[in-house]
Structure 1
């Protein structure tokens, strides 16, 4: 009996010691854990560094090493979707840089401004400088046939965007996406800073006046050009149903350019060609614009021929004749054409 009592007593003592040890370990661990937690809370964790404002960052990157000048083109879903035989307008546009003389390095300074997510995604896929324009309240994704309400709206949105870029201090070489770049245009443009604006025309017929075309132009950022673009954009309010090119033509005709003291040069179609008036000299041509054309399928078809003509000329320097622009010529009579939405 006494042996049994001693055994029980020893067992109870052992249990008590184990329980006491467990409590010590628990509270000791908790104390250490609380100490570490308090220490971590007292560490000065660096605040996150937010990225530079998106447009400012992409403009800075695209203009780097190019005299603060950025090449800008506007694209929407219609320009990145296939149009017959797997071709897209964007394919032709970028393809001309690869086929042109001295044009490949210019892709580093090209900014594609997308009006919709599809166009933006396609731009990112090609690893170019890309920016998605704010188009809240309007759908600019589908094809906007010449002089449709959507076309006019897109042109005015474009004008406002370019005004924003000028205000930021960047010079602009704007190009429509239906312009093929066959040679480096910077070698043909004045770069001494004396000209505020250099703009393409539909015809070299000076007697008919300078029929400007806003599909290709170079503009320097200064107070005069910013004032021009501000006035130009404001005039949309009094110009319902009128495209921005016609409004700019009116500002030129009424002397507003002179009032601002703008120095402007009009680019000759021999070098800066278009379907309205072909360049007679493939040895001088720099760009070819699918102007005087109504819709995308016709532009893609005829621009494909232009690129083929250019390749033949590069190979032999003999072929100096452009293929006829039949599709674009007949596009004006295509009353049954329905654009993709």
Structure 2
């Protein structure tokens, strides 16, 4: 009888232990492979794996090059500044030149240039990048699509380009690097890192800020975001990328504004915040405080020429204020960009 009782108690102990272990949350395993393309979501990796052996070897070479640039560009805490460009942004006296000039004339921003990674979407952009910004350029190859020209927001190639960007940034997280992504049509006038919100997984700019950094009713602007590499953000980027199939014809900014309040983000524990436009400004705003703006984004604009003119105007106003001591100077309104929006609006109304 005592033997039977002992066996029964032992069996019940095993059952209790088993169910207790199931109740414990299981962390997502962080991938350990060093291959860049090993980290893309399954929806893409099937397509990549279908390529021939030569292409696979070339991707492995690109992977090593990317890891080297990330390692060399990263700050002490494995953080890099990432931007992207195609040929339309790379031409002489274009957006790339304005982008670099902003770092050079900003207050304490020139030292940040060593941490910038420029991801080039076509060969000509890459060739120009290595001429003026050597050792920090990476060519992101995409088979069968030409990303070299200027794109409108609704054009198919533009959507492909934006989703390619999201895919790449998600893969960088899986390599263990935090990143501050900035669109190239921005000028950095002050170091924005001190203005970032501490202990947050994902923080993103918004076109207009309602005063509450936790409020998902702020409209997210994908052109400036800081993301910490961890299991939550990796899962979020996979979810974000796969959500493009639920919302066909939408770019990545449209989609994040559709999913930012989803319960799934609470389930994975993602802490998301929205950045104050006082410090991360943009052309969608009506006014700005030149004494506080760190970054100015040339959005709400149609046409590279209009964008470049108004971004250069920002740099002129900044130089007059910061370098020449004109403390009464303020940012002028980006009228070229605003007129371009008005023309487009009138055209669509017929």
**Where on the TM-score scale, by shorter chain, does this alignment land: which range?**
0.7 to 0.9
Work out whether 1:183 is the aligned partner of 2:193. no
SS at match of 2:84: strand
Cα displacement string for residues 233-257 of structure 1 (whole angstroms, at most 9, x for unaligned residues): 0111222210111111111133333
Counterpart contact for 1:108–1:128, Cα < 8 Å: no
Task: State yes or no: 1:284 paired with 2:289.
Answer: no
Which residue number corresponds to residue 310 of structure 2? Answer: 302
Which SS does the other structure have where 2:200 is aligned? coil
Q: Deviations over 1:306-339 (max 9, x none)?
A: 110111111225234221211111212446xxxx
For residue 209 of structure 1, report the CA deviation from its aligned partner.
1.6
Q: Residue 169 of structure 2 aligns with which residue? A: 162
CA distance in 1, matches of 2:147, 2:158: 8
Q: How does 1:40-189 map to 2 (within 5 A)?
A: 53-63=64-74, 65-82=75-92, 87-126=93-132, 127-189=134-196
Alignment check: 8 A CA contact 1:76 1:116 kept:
yes
1:331 and 2:340 matched: yes
The verdict on how the C-alpha distance between 1:218 and 1:288 changes in structure 2, with shifts beyond 3 A counting, is: same
Whole-angstrom distance in 2 between the partners of 1:208 and 1:114: 32
- 1:106-140 C-alpha deviation (Å, 9 max, x unpaired): 11110000001111111111224010002111110
Work out the CA distance in 2 between the residues paired with 1:278 and 1:61: 39
Q: Which residue of 1 aligns with 2:252?
A: 244
In structure 1, distance between residues paired with 2:271 and 2:245: 27
Q: Deviations over 1:59-115 (max 9, x none)?
A: 11111x341001100010000114xxxx21000000000011111111111000000
How much has 1:52 moved relative to structure 2?
A: 7.8
Contact 1:110 1:128 in 2 (8 A): no
- Could you tell me which of 330, 333, 339 is aligned with 1:321? 330
Corresponding position of 1:198: 203
Alignment size in residue pairs: 280
Query: Under a length normalisation based on structure 1, what TM-score does the superposition of the two structures give?
Result: 0.78
Consecutive unaligned residues in structure 1, runs of 5 or more: 1-49, 336-341
Which piece of structure 1 moves more, 105-114 or 230-239?
230-239
Seen in structure 2, the aligned counterparts of structure 1 residues 51 and 249 have a Cα distance that, compared at 3 Å, is: closer
Distance 2:233 2:73 in 1: 21
Larger Rg: 1
- Whether 1:272 and 2:266 are equivalent positions in the alignment is no
- More off after superposition, 250-259 vs 107-116: 250-259
Shift, 1:279, TM fit: 5.2
Equivalent residue number for residue 218 of structure 1: 226
* Structure 1 residue 302: Cα displacement: 0.7
What is the RMSD of the two structures over their aligned residues, measured on CA atoms?
2.0
For residues 155 and 62 of structure 1, what CA distance do their matches in structure 2 show? 23
Q: Which runs of 4+ in 1 moved over 4 A?
A: none
Contact 1:182–1:285 at 8 Å: present in 2 too? yes
State how far apart, in whole Å, the 2-side matches of 1:187 and 1:319 are.
Answer: 25
CA distance in 2, matches of 1:104, 1:312: 18
| SS in structure 1 at match of 2:205 | strand
The 8 Å contact of residues 171 and 219 in structure 1, kept in 2 or not, is answered as yes
- TM-score, normalised with respect to structure 2: 0.76
Following TM superposition, by how much is the alpha carbon of 1:208 offset from its aligned partner in structure 2, in angstroms?
A: 9.0
